[in-house]
Amino acid sequence: MNTDQPWLTIWTRPRETISRIAAETPTRMVLPLAALAGIADALAQNRNNGGDLTSALSGIEIMMGALVAGPIFGIIVLYGFAALTWLTGRWIGGEGSPVTIRAAFAWASIPKITAMLVMLGPIVLYGPKILTRDIDLDDAGVQSWSDLVILGIFLVIIVALRIWSFVVYLHCLGQVQGFSAWKALGNSLLAVLVLVMPIALLSVILTAGS
């Protein structure tokens, strides 16, 4: 099998691809991929859960904010979540190291990064206003059924790519940890639980004391 093109093989052969990367150059492109994934997540987070702050921002401001803060966020998440995943993975027999888990995390983000590139389509067609959370579609130039269909197609592609990115991640993590994809999911959920529980406990304590 030719794994000299991991950008391509990661889509359909994630286990074989990440196995080769982890064995030969586990730090290859990890930071750039994490930075790009951070930008992708920042843009997606704005659309899904923007809140009052991002609702008040223009499309250009949202793009600039994602470009500045996204890479920092992506690298922090890379190191933080990989460390938690390594720690909780050891509890259930994981064989990976923090370095190989970071490689799995970064390379599995390629479909998600592609989703961000697909998002450029609506931006080119309708302008940066399309990124704002409380968008007026008429104001953004979406004025016909064909425009809505085009937007719907872009949305389906973006969602499908982000879902596939998660599937690829489970297989990549499973490979470096010596797990099935299902056990890799359990490993990830344990990591999230370890992250969330102290925060939830602190919130309960502060609420009870107020």
pLDDT at 50: 47
Write the pLDDT tens digit of every residue in 99-144: 999 999 999 999 999 999 998 888 888 777 677 655 555 555 566 7
pLDDT at 57: 59
Write the pLDDT tens digit of every residue in 26-79: 999 999 999 999 999 988 876 555 444 444 456 677 788 889 999 999 999 999
- Please count the residues of the chain: 210
Closest by CA to 105, choosing from 75, 73, 67, is 75
Could you tell me the residue ranges of all domains in the chain?
Answer: 6-209
Residue 170: is it exposed, middle or buried by C-beta count within 10 angstroms (0-12/13-18/19+)? Answer: buried
Residue 110: is it exposed, middle or buried by C-beta count within 10 angstroms (0-12/13-18/19+)? Answer: buried
CA distances from 44 to 107, 182, 195 (A): 19, 25, 21
Write the pLDDT tens digit of every residue in 144-188: 778 778 888 998 999 999 999 999 999 999 999 999 999 999 999
